[in-house]
Amino acid sequence: MSKPAVLTLDDKVYVFPTIEGVENEKAVDFRTLRSATGYISYDEGYGNTGSCQSEITYIDGEVGILRYRGIPIEQLADKSSFLESSYMILYGDLPTQFELDQFKARVREGTAVSPMMCDVLKGFPRDAPPMGMLGSMLGAMSCYNASLATNDRAVDLEHFDEAAAVAIAQTATAAALGYRVTKGLEGNQPDPSLSFGDNFLHLMFSEEGRPYKAIPEVSRALDLMLLLHADHEQNCSTSTVRMVASGGANLFASVAAGCGALWGPAHGGANMAVIKMLEEIRATGDDGSKFIEEAKSGKSGKRLMGFGHRVYKNFDPRAKIIGKACGELLNKLGIDDPCLDIARHLEQAALADDYFISRNLYPNVDFYSGIVLRALGIPSDMFTVMFAIGRMPGWVANWREIAMNPKMKINRPRQIYQGPALRDYVAMEDRG
């Protein structure tokens, strides 16, 4: 049994229970803090606050560990696939072959969107931001799949299997159709014979008389990208999904809110920022050496994008995996991307520099993911959309945890009010 925590306030002693996770994470249970003491805890940004108990993902940022349902990300990247890992994230265990086949079939069946949804997409302007379009489509899914989005928790859980498959499948479909709308192209029909990733690329790039031809190395790189982003504990977007779900909202409304949170550049736009930085370095003829010195000086306003992470104080384990895959993909495709050379130089230089080491500034997953996506033909303004496609299983699994918890209360954080003290209303004629 965990030791209790003792808190002294105003010469009074209060005892609070503690909670210990399976990986020895420890927390003080302050659920009765306000009622017992009149105080609340203050933790701006929630960096020290456990908002929930979850069984989905474990992270140890101090040593660079990431596990989905207990399985190390390195093993999943080497042996699993996006859809197999998605099943495990959703349901808790690796599937049998029968379970995986059934799950893949549900995803295939859920890929096609309503023609009316296509009409909605066509109504967006060609310069519409891809994340704005995707968020709108995720919300619209609740309208075009009304039987799966009733806001009656028991009913929505009864139809969870189908709803989860639709959310995962149609996110990719809507993303691809949105891309084609911006190009003035008609949408393609899903090809049930293709894998999840290959079907997405087909929906994106197939042209009349020139169907997309799957390349194994490309298929594997895309699948790996999605798998590495499938979940990442209580980040901004996932916490948003849980917040909305706590109010009883259906799955599609909740993940649409998560999409909005991901749209922010501090969360989902990091790989775009990396590509922009690498392109700017290349344009100056620098190999990255000058840029590093300017970033260290702090006078130029330049930052080394793709380094450091809110959670990881060591190497991001996903970065090691995607960095290796990036080089292999470009070599296989015969792509000579000068941005990759600059990225490698930046990584080597930063990892040998005490300035970055002392500040725990190691490469994160975003450092190489943009290069991989560019090699796959994905335009940079869709990088965050790709993030959303990958993260959907995690969002859906977190919605399910909320929905299945009979003791779940609506999330309602407190605040410390710092505005004007009590004052009287002043009539218009007396305001000067």
Domain locations along the chain: 5-66, 72-265+381-403, 270-375
**Is 152 considered catalytic here?**
no
Look up the pTM and report it.
0.94
C-beta separation of 382 from 393 below 8 A = no
Residue-level pLDDT at 362: 85
Band of the pLDDT at 339, cuts 50, 70, 90?
confident
Beta-strand runs (E) in 51-142: 57-60, 65-68, 71-72
C-beta separation of 400 from 246 below 8 A = no
Q: Which of 156, 198, 316, 366 is catalytic?
A: 366
Band of the pLDDT at 343, cuts 50, 70, 90?
confident
Q: Which of 231, 232, 309, 316 is catalytic?
A: 309
Exposure string over 90-103, b if 16+ CB within 10 A, otherwise e: bbeeebeeeebeeb
- For residues 277-288, average pLDDT: 92
Exposure string over 233-266, b if 16+ CB within 10 A, otherwise e: bbbbbbbbbbbbbbebbbbbbbbbbbbbbbbeee
Residue-level pLDDT at 298: 79
72-265+381-403 against 270-375: fold identical: no
19 strand-pairing partners: 27
Residue-level pLDDT at 1: 58
- Cα 108 to Cα 241: distance, rounded to the nearest angstrom: 25
Architecture of the CATH domain 270-375: Orthogonal Bundle (1.10)
**Is 232 considered catalytic here?**
no
**Helix/strand/coil (H/E/C) assignment for every residue in 268-284:** CCHHHHHHHHHHHHHHC
CATH superfamily of 72-265+381-403: Citrate Synthase, domain 1 (1.10.580.10)
- Cα 115 to Cα 98: distance, rounded to the nearest angstrom: 32
Band of the pLDDT at 336, cuts 50, 70, 90?
confident
Band of the pLDDT at 347, cuts 50, 70, 90?
confident
Classify the phi-psi angles of 288: left when phi > 0, otherwise alpha if psi is within -120 to 50, otherwise beta. Answer: left
Residue-level pLDDT at 152: 96
